[in-house]
Structure 1
Amino acid sequence: MSHPRLDTLGTRRKLKVGDKSYDIFSLKAAAEKVGDVSRLPYTLKVLLENLLRYEDGTTVKTADIQALVDWQKTRKSTHEIEYRPARVLMQDFTGVPAVVDLAAMRDAMKSLGGDPKKINPLAQCDLVIDHSVMVDKFGTQMAFKQNVDLEMERNNERYEFLRWGQNSLDNFSAVPPGTGICHQINVEYLAQTVWTTDEDGVTFAYPDTCVGTDSHTTMVNGLAVLGWGVGGIEAEAAMLGQPVSMLIPEVVGFKLTGKLKEGITATDLVLTVTQMLRAKGVVGKFVEFYGNGLDELTIADQSTIANMAPEYGATCGFFPISAQTLNYLRFTGRSDATVALVEAYAKEQGMWRDSSTPEPVFTDTLELDISTVVPSLAGPKRPQDRVELTGVVQGFSKVLEAAGKLSDTKEYAVEGESFTLKQGHVCIAAITSCTNTSNPGVLIAAGLVAKKAHELGLKRKPWVKTSLAPGSQVVTDYLAKAGLTEHLDALGFNLVGYGCTTCIGNSGPLDEPISKSINGNDLVCASVLSGNRNFEGRVSPDLKANYLASPPLVVAYAIAGSILTDITKEPVGTSKDGKPVYLKDIWPTNQEVHDAIAKSLTREMFIERYSNVFEGTPEWQAIPVAEGETYDWNNKSTYVQHPPYFQGMSQTPGEIHDIKGARPLAILGDSITTDHISPAGSIKAASPAGKYLQEHGVAVADFNSYGSRRGNHEVMMRGTFANIRLRNEMAPGTEGGWTTHYPSGEVMSIYDASMQYQDAGIPLVVVGGKEYGTGSSRDWAAKGTNLLGVKAVIVESFERIHRSNLVGMGVLPLQFKDGMTRETLGLKGTETFDITGIEGNITPRQDVDVTITFADGTTKAIKVLCRIDTANEVEYYRHGGILHFVLRNLAAA
């Protein structure tokens, strides 16, 4: 914190905890000058402290502090603030391109005559390698070792690069592969709830906050750490000392009362909360949970709910500090001094929650009696599409009806196998993802279901690919101590790796005969996974329906083998003595789960596992580490390449120009996800990215995934809009990354059309519907859009992170007004667009003129809303992107 501290309100105070003294910025002291803050939402108290601590008269003024307190009058605000999180969290899919950008910025700094060492994280940055392991091998004791060996072999170039970053960048640490998922490691180890830094002999204490390059960074809000996902572009800026520019948010209060009934899981609760909040409409808002129902939830339960904030659309879903927070910190191995500081700080600052604290004031509220929650799944393609367990068969029947397959009850042969496949068969059952593998309650429940099923002689169906990918090594410790590992193994849920796996699309290939039968017979088969994402084409290219479920239900569906088995009424299988076995026969009681956790999970497990979290395996340690303040790029690498963003960059930005004669590259519908724009999963051999890799000597078997190739812009720009389930209205009758090029009228890949347009000097636009850019905080969805020559994206509404990322890459986000849509305008893709009123000057949220010229020569003039929302974003756009802005400022300093 090397900025000047003005502290014009005189809020700096001493806090003594035991024999240690800390400097804090007191909210009580601030209240004496700017007004009562006792009922300010907890999240806004965190932002208020941040403004007090960083007041410098330039980026943070007294007026900003007053505006945040005055929020209570209207409970909404148009005031912009500059917020500085304590640290940055990255996973490797998004972290590698971020480190690539830092390396490229060092080169650019050198070419501008500056010092490359100025490009360095100023805030602590932790990168966890958790997204690279794939489920190639499963159902055997050797699966974990074989998958990790394959991971190291495939990703060696990326890991060499990350070792360079670990060695060359200050304040940057990498958690090696095979350790766990970044969000679970964040909750179990990295997060402190109250953060401290030493400066000039003084220790400052303040709320632990973070931003992360994964949208599920929100999980840490379950531990009262304010955090949310940003694009890698924003994260890099935050690392380099740039504040996160934001409007003071609306805060929606979600009141929880009651407690879960017998047999109901935290997953059932979170799917219910997700559905309610998505229906409420909380995009761009903070959600804060309150009410006596919080006393009935563990920190793991709270983290499960907080994790799903991107699915319900909120910036974050926050749970305040309470006695449970202290118990969790203590139990997971944090020091006594840390726990004592958290309690003392929270109580001193009015950030403590118990039954006596007054309810905060909120912009709006909603309420749920937890006791009304019933067993649920979500699917077949969106996390918010909750369906009660009793209604799964009926819901899937509608999927079959829409596909024209409802009457197809035939059995289809599988080459070389004694079993057959049918519509609705479950072909993947995966216990995966940070959402649930962080929660001992649901994982122990899954183990107990497996134990009861195994003891009755039940087996998984032979067509089901099963996997267990825990979020941390502590999970395997307590499953083993509870005596449940052998039973999970017996049903095929062997450990396959520690990482995201199936939820990110790293499910690995289905057995080839099964894949051939599904595709050859046009079968609508399903996956059931304990993850947070089930978007089209994400889990597996072979499976058209995907359902989110609790880990114990994942086990049950692996045994049943079909979504069309109503497991609430029909047997899930037949016991070894020939009797039907129902779900109730293998479902554990709440007491059984509680007792198993109490016997098997210990504080020592966390202390032991996290004592050497940064060391890694001998294979990791053997990776050679490159030296040098700039990176020595390998031109032959197909994983890491020098990106073109800063080529020919000057010290001063150019002028903003109107966009004339733009052609649409794609016209898209509602709920276009960042997965549709920039897929993370498998690369098709016939795709532009697949052709590029083959031209560079990469065999199809070694393609790896789009996510793992994010350090190579050549692959990623070819993969932009290449999702196999994308439907571009400009190329009717197609599915995947296709468009129609004009004026030729030729149907071709979006990448090939982009190259032709760019060669001809024609700017491009993308047109879309509602909720454009939902899903992961994927910077490549914006980077790829930029590299394809897209100058503006015009849609009905944006999701928060993607809109910000587009600005961060110099792409203009525009929003239709007054109920106007691509449909009311009758857009076909044959039109051209003139976007005017931005030349030379642009202001936040101004109206922009768009003139559409149709194929017959007629024109229509419309006004759209410029979604450059803040003054800072205007600067980013003027410079051609946020990294260019940061680089020029650092070079000039």
Structure 2
Amino acid sequence: MTSLDTLKARATLRLDGRAYDYFSLGKAAAGLGDLSRLPLSLKVLLENLLRHENGSTVTVEDIRALARWTDSRSSDREIAFRPARVLMQDFSGVPAVVDLAAMRDAMVARGGDPARINPLVPVDLVIDHSVIVDEFAGKDAFAANVRLEYERNAERYEFLRWGQQAFDNFRVVPPGTGICHQVNLEYLSRVAWTRDEDGRTTVYPDTLVGTDSHTTTVNGLGVLGWGVGGIEAEAAMLGQPISMLIPEVVGFRLTGSLGDGVTATDAVLTVTQMLRKLGVVGKFVEFHGPGLDHLSLADRATLANMAPEYGATCGFFPVDAETIDYLRISGRDEAVVRLAEAYAKAQGLWRDDAVTPAFTAELHLDLGTVEPSLAGPRRPQDRVPLSGVADSFARELATGFGKPEGIGPGEIDHGAVVIAAITSCTNTSNPGVMMGAGLLAKKAVAAGLRVKPWVKTSLAPGSQVVTDYLEQAGAAAALEQLGFGLVGYGCTTCIGNSGPLPDKVAEEVAARDLVACAVLSGNRNFEGRVHPQAKANYLASPMLVVAYALAGRITLDLTREPIGQGTAGPVYLADIWPTAREIAEAIGTCVTPEHFRKRYANVFAGDELWRRIAVRPGQTFTWKDQSTYIRRPPYFEGGTAAAPAIDNVIGARILALLGDSITTDHISPAGGIKRDSPAGRFLSDARVAFADFNQYGARRGNHEVMIRGTFANIRIRNEMTPGIEGGVSRYVPDADAPVEPIYDVARRYASEGTPLVVVAGKEYGTGSSRDWAAKGVALLGVKAVIAESFERIHRSNLVGMGVLPLAFQAGTDRKLLGLDGSEVIDLLDLDGPITPRMKVRARFVYRNGAMVEVPLTLRIDTLDELAYFRSGGILHYVLAGLLDKAA
């Protein structure tokens, strides 16, 4: 008798003449105790443990620990989560597939079957991060940008086409379809997942992990999922569980409804500010309360999307009637819809406001108190009421940017909006704000308003369905008249794919050193992310993006001053703002299941350009030595049979001394490649013309480019080089050494065998779940990162690449230690037994010979992570396990 039988969790759901096996939480409660107040997000985890209990990776003790969570509302128990599927976008997906191809080579080299390296769970890769806004504000912009995308990325797309035929359980959604999170929301997700085995069908919650941090969007649909590094995703694809501590769950009670003129974007900026203030890193957030009755599914997805910005692992919404209605309106098969509803109700995962779950902590927001807002100029949690944006920028100009109020004369001045972009997954999955932007455009055109000539405008919808309903509403033409014509379907300006500014604007911004602005409907506005010449970046609803394009400057108070001069005189924002009723009527008429069914009928086929790509068959990839896009990575060189012994790190030097809130945007290569950078020199030496450099994201399949771009962000500040912005450092042993790119300094240390460390402040590694933020650091020769605190995904990725994450203990940090980067560091106590979260000593030897030892916490948090680290990294661990099974 198995322990599952002891818990008597097996049950049968009968629906429409079919029988489905499932693991009933209601039946399991007989052996586990009352589960009624367990948060619904944890019920999903509990079902996952019940279904995968095997006495080793998942034990009955794990299940009981999760079931007893409400006793203390926290736990230090490690559990193994196995998602139903994996979602990728192409920037992070390409290096993952490159690693799988390299693992196949390694398997062949060791006499194994390459087919053993194969996804064991369904994997969908959506190509959405490669389109760049080169052309805009013209009817041919979309076609031109698509053509350029295929020309730049021919090698990458050829490689993905190979992977599509080489790997089982691996599908690719071609370019020009939409943003992965919206495709996931509108098409891929089912809410209830099924698996057929031995003639029986098992139904269970649809869950996933994704290689983009905004995988969390789908939690608005009641699908539990979050972003992980590409390293973790690869392991999940290969059958490894996601190791995690049972999370704390913060309840977020919503009441009331949004007022007229207030959008879901305003709500999410308010929620982000509240949750950042509370502190929810590493925690689940679960939304509940009667306010959910007044939030559309798209509004919920908007709130769920920005979980990385408010710091949580996910922001979960329960399944209810709105969920089921959305499945129908988005064209899902009726059998899928009926099973989702029946299973959620049978399993106790259906929303029930009569029962308030037990939470670790709880916040409350009356949606009626939310006001129109933006966030900026640097962080998504820095919300500013619309009425205060102009004054806030004036203060930032003086204190943050060190500029006088204005420098005139000139057509543009400080605060000029040079980019206005409707982009990213935050809002383009929401018909409410997208239709709102279209209706605002119609009224603006009717009033005789025009976008200011220095503003680069763009519209990059999350899916092709958006184009359909905007056209049907008569709004697409108005948007085009204002310059918001279609530039592509994908994540553009939000990830830095904003393309060049017009020459005249770029020259004036540069010549006069202007603090120019970008306004975008995105989720990230970190320094240097959107465009190198847009120093101040503001997140806003699509409607306010259009409004600021009309205004042309951030220094205008849109709540009091005219937005511009129309044919009949001054026009105010209130004059052109659509009412909630107008938006709702347009959505009710123009958003139909037929649009979704038509657009997703042949979603994997692609356009003619995709279908023309030649596919080279075979189980292993034929690498091209001359390729500057796809290179065999070095991780498996020298074998994997004997992982290097873990030992103390002696005589390490500091490569970078960094402050607080160093994001993966600062660490991981992103954006354009500068001609005179180490990566630019590498490409030039490979005879790549500067015009063909493309961007770092497109070259993530080439480790030689990526390690040269690690820490190369133009806004990063290394405290070893005070007063200098950018990814530079010093070779400390040589007192006369110049300031050099970090890559060049790292190579110099590597040539003499000197280990390296990075020292940082609080919240190290926040931002997108970029595997190269860990891979690049490891390949630079960094053995450890010492920080005051870490973001969850990045810390795990460091472990997965064999880099030690070490945390200062309370009362100690780089400033109190007086570090300036010249110190020599020994990391001790690593040569004996190692356990998760153990204490280790760090010895700092100063330039004057003084020495101090301080305790650090080893942030290898779980036994699984320790096993990965002992193997030299998670990929080596997986490969060694597969070789053992084959032996």
Q: Which amino acid aligns with 2:620?
A: T
Identity of aligned residues (%): 63
Where does residue 439 of structure 2 map in the other structure?
Answer: 448
Residue 210 (str. 1) matches residue 202 (str. 2): no
Moved more, 7-16 or 533-542: 7-16
The SS at the match of 2:840 is strand
Distance 2:180 2:157 in 1: 16
What secondary structure sits across from 1:437 in the alignment?
coil
Q: Deviations over 1:34-61 (max 9, x none)?
A: 1111110001100000001001111011
What is the CA–CA distance in structure 2 between the aligned matches of 1:510 and 1:81, rounded to whole Å?
49
> 1:144 aligned to 137, 142, 145, which one?
142
Give the secondary-structure state (helix, strand or coil) at the position aligned to 1:36: coil
Alignment of 1:16-27 (within 5 A): 16-27=14-25
- The separation in 2 between residues aligned to 1:163 and 1:592, in whole angstroms, is 44
Q: Please say if residues 304 and 314 of structure 2, whose CA atoms lie closer than 8 Å, have aligned partners that are also in contact.
A: yes
Confirm or deny: 8 A CA contact 2:264 2:299 kept in the other structure.
Answer: yes
Partner of 1:800: 792
Q: Distance in 1 between matches of 2:402 and 2:251?
A: 43
Report whether the alignment pairs 1:81 with 2:79. yes
Which of 534, 539, 542 is the aligned partner of 1:548? 539
Partner of 1:426: 417
Which residue of 1 is the match for residue 840 of structure 2?
848
Cα shift readout 1:79-104 (whole Å, capped 9, x = no counterpart):
00011000000000000000000001
> Given that residues 112 and 650 in structure 1 are in contact (C-alpha distance below 8 angstroms), is that contact kept between their aligned partners in structure 2?
no
Match of 1:369 in 2: 366
The whole-number CA distance in structure 2 between the counterparts of 1:151 and 1:217 is 24
Query: Paired residue for 1:510?
Result: 501
Q: CA deviation at 1:8?
A: 4.0
Q: CA–CA distance in 2 between the matches of 1:421 and 1:704?
A: 29
2:870 is the counterpart of 1:878: yes
CA apart distance, 1:78: 0.5
| Structure 1 counterpart of 2:630 | 640
1:595 to 582, 585, 597: 585
CA displacement, residues 339-398 of structure 1 (integer Å, 9 cap, x when unaligned) = 11111111111110144x401111110100000000000000100110000110111112
**1:443: Cα distance to partner?**
0.5
Q: Is the 8 A contact 2:7 2:30 kept in 1?
A: no
Matched, 1:71 2:69: yes
The TM-score, its normalising length taken from structure 2, stands at 0.99
Any conservation in 1 of the 2:640–2:876 contact (CA below 8 Å)?
Answer: no
Report whether the alignment pairs 1:126 with 2:121: no
Partner of 1:736: 726
* Structure 2 counterpart of 1:490, from 476, 481, 489: 481
> Which digits, 9 at most, give the CA deviation of each residue in 1:717-736, with x for residues without a partner?
00000001010001112111
Deviation at 1:801, TM superposition (A): 0.4
SS at 2:218 equivalent: helix
Q: Distance in 1 between matches of 2:840 and 2:108?
A: 38
TM-score using structure 1 length: 0.98
Residue identity matched to 2:759: V
Structure 1's unaligned 5+ residue stretches are: 413-419
Residue 819 (structure 1) aligned with residue 808 (structure 2): no
Q: Distance in 2 between matches of 1:129 and 1:692?
A: 26
Aligned residue type for 1:11: A
Mapped partners of 2:644, 2:477: distance in 1: 64
Aligned to 1:417: none
Report matched runs for 1:321-340 at 5 Å.
321-340=319-338
Q: Which AA in structure 2 matches 1:262?
A: D
Q: Paired residue for 2:599? A: 609
CA distance in 2, matches of 1:841, 1:429: 55
2:378 maps to 1:381: yes
Distance in structure 2 (CA, Å) of the matches to 1:84 and 1:170: 19
Q: CA deviation at 1:520?
A: 1.6
Corresponding position of 2:802:
810
How far apart are the structure 1 equivalents of 2:644 and 2:803?
15
State whether structure 2 residue 695 is matched by structure 1 residue 705: yes
Q: Counterpart of 2:442 in structure 1: which amino acid?
A: K
**1:743-800, CA deviations, whole angstroms, 9 ceiling, x for partnerless residues?**
1132111000000001110000000011100100000000000000000000011011
Equivalent runs, 1:241-280 vs 2, <5 Å: 241-280=239-278
Q: What secondary structure is seen at the aligned counterpart in 2 of 1:559? A: helix
- State the alpha-carbon separation in 1 of the partners of residues 316 and 485 from structure 2: 34
Q: SS at the partner of 2:853?
A: strand
Output the amino acid matched with 2:643: P
Deviation (angstroms), 1:113? 2.0
Cα offsets for 1:523-564 (capped at 9, x unmatched): 000000000011100000111000000000000000000011
Paired residues in the alignment total 881
Q: Is the 8 A contact 2:669 2:706 kept in 1?
A: no
1:426-445 Cα shifts (integer Å, max 9, x gaps): 00000000110000000011
Shift of 1:241: 0.1
Contact 1:397–1:406 (8 Å) recurs in 2: no
RMSD (CA atoms): 0.9
The one of 547, 563, 569 aligned to 1:572: 563
State the match for 2:290 in structure 1.
Answer: 292
Q: Work out whether residues 185 and 472 of structure 1, in 8 Å CA contact, stay in contact via their aligned partners in 2.
A: yes
Aligned partner letter, 2:390: V
User: What residue in structure 2 maps to residue 692 of structure 1?
Assistant: 682
Q: 1:203-259, CA deviations, whole angstroms, 9 ceiling, x for partnerless residues? A: 110000000000000000000000000000000000000000000000000000000
Q: Write the mapping of 1:656-695 to structure 2, written as runs, cut at 5 A.
A: 656-695=646-685
Q: Return the alpha-carbon distance in structure 1 between the equivalents of residues 560 and 704 of structure 2.
A: 52
Q: Which residue of 1 aligns with 2:42?
A: 44
Q: Pick which of 333-342 and 369-378 moved more.
A: 333-342
Q: Greater CA deviation, 297-306 or 625-634?
A: 625-634
**Structure 1 residue 466 corresponds to structure 2 residue 457:** yes
Which residue identity does 1:359 align to in structure 2?
Answer: T
Structure 2 partner of 1:416: none
| Counterpart position of 2:448 | 457
Is the 2:669–2:772 Cα contact (8 Å) retained in structure 1? no
**Structure 2 residue identity aligned to 1:185:** V
CA distance in 1, matches of 2:511, 2:686: 31
SS in 2 for 1:665: strand
Q: Which amino acid aligns with 1:856?
A: N
Aligned: 1:302 with 2:283: no
| TM-aligned CA deviation for residue 7 of structure 1 | 4.5
Q: Distance in 2 between matches of 1:285 and 1:112?
A: 41
Shift, 1:655, TM fit: 1.0
Query: What CA distance in whole angstroms lies between the structure 2 residues aligned with 1:351 and 1:599?
Result: 32
- Do the aligned partners of 1:656 and 1:841 also contact (CA within 8 Å) in 2? no
Q: Give the gaps of 5 or more residues in structure 2.
A: none
